[in-house]
Amino acid sequence: MGAAAFAASVIGLSSCDAIYDDLEPCPEGVALRFVFDYNMEFANAFPSQVDCLTLLVYDAAGNYITTRTETTEVLADEDWRMVIDLPAGETYHFVAYGGLECQKSTFSFVNAPAAGSTLQQLQVSMNADCIGANPGKELHPLFFGALDMAVPEGALDYTAGTVYMMRDTNTLRILLQNVDGTPCNPDDFTFSITDDNTLLSYDNSVIETTGTTYSPYVTGQAGAGVTEGDNEALLAFAEFSTSRLIEGSGARLNIRSNITGVNVLSIPLVNYLLLLRSQQFASMGDQEFLDREHRWNVILFLDNGRWIDTRIVINDWIVRINHADL
């Protein structure tokens, strides 16, 4: 080979190729992007909604390898990637949580992953001071994502991958309105949600416990404008934070009258929220709809202290109720 040809062949090689013993080896590992577009906007909201990140790395057999965390402003940068050195020729399982490492976190590991632990042992629980709290707590947003990917041998750079996230926490704003326009006083009612969703498994499924009762973290009165007779309609409201809502669960919304001591209503919460999905998002599966939507506004109408159970407004959609469907 001539001198010019040999020089050209050397220039064409990557600087990490082992031509000389003193050159650095090619980087081995992953460069991970994190995306949260599993929402009703179908747009990536990770940079604006996730303020701390925990990534767990397991091998193909589910054995724990390492943990990486990020809590700085780089999370707001669309171009940011988490780079991790890992041996090539292996397949890895990554589990990501948004919201665990933040100062205001309301969820934590049941047992912190460590050497010798496995993927199947991974559990995340709502903090004890949030479970059954009265008044309730406004939960810090919790996100979950997972990815399986291999790091191939012979790659000249870190292997790119994307971890797609979903949101586990929900906000529900429940409003009561008197149909005759008279003010509705929040002090006249006790609001609660009962569910069993405070413990999450390694795959983000809910693990059954003894259940919990959510109390609102705020209650009050809100105006809805002028009605007949120039009287402003005043609604009572209660706002809740809950963990992941699951199709077919026993979650119930309960409202009791503090005046009469009897229930104004006790309804299967998830069934009623899914009434909205059946109208606007008929092609979307029930659980997907519950996971994509995380802000719920529900208006219930009262007549002489009794719930009018033929109509409900969910996220500005008026739902005519057919009890045969529930």
pLDDT in tens, 168-186: 999 999 999 998 889 999 9
Token reading at 266: 């006790």
pLDDT at 243: 98
Stretch among 20-34, 114-128, 197-211, 233-247 having the lowest mean pLDDT: 20-34
Determine the Cα–Cα distance for residues 51 and 310; give it in Å rounded to an integer: 42
pLDDT in tens, 112-138: 999 999 999 999 999 999 999 999 999
92-130 b/e with 16+ CB inside 10 Å = b?
A: bbbbbbbbbebeebbbebeeebeeebebeebebbbeeeb
* 29-35 and 82-85 strand pairing: antiparallel
Confidence of residue 227 (pLDDT cuts 50, 70, 90): low
Dihedral angle sign, alpha carbons of residues 82, 85, 90, 94: negative
Determine the Cα–Cα distance for residues 128 and 133; give it in Å rounded to an integer: 9
The residues that bridge with 107 in the sheet, in sequence order, are 126
299-316 b/e with 16+ CB inside 10 Å = b?
A: bbbbeeeebeeeebbbbe
How remote is the C-alpha of 55 from its chain's centroid? 16
Residue of 324, 267, 326 whose CA lies nearest to 298: 267
Average pLDDT over the chain, rounded to whole?
A: 89
Q: Which helix (H) or strand (E) holds 267?
A: strand 263-268
> What SS3 class is residue 261?
coil
String of DSSP letters for 109-121:
ESS---TT-BGGG
pLDDT at 320: 59
At a CB cut-off of 8 Å and minimum separation 6, what does 184 contact? 176, 177, 178, 221, 234, 235, 236, 302
Contact, 45 vs 57, CB < 8 A?
no
Q: Does the pTM of the predicted model rise above 0.85? A: yes
pLDDT at 228: 52
Determine the Cα–Cα distance for residues 254 and 268; give it in Å rounded to an integer: 9
Exposure of 73 in the CB half-sphere (CA atoms within 13 A): 0
Confidence of residue 316 (pLDDT cuts 50, 70, 90): confident
Stretch among 155-159, 165-169, 215-219 having the lowest mean pLDDT: 155-159
Confidence of residue 84 (pLDDT cuts 50, 70, 90): very high
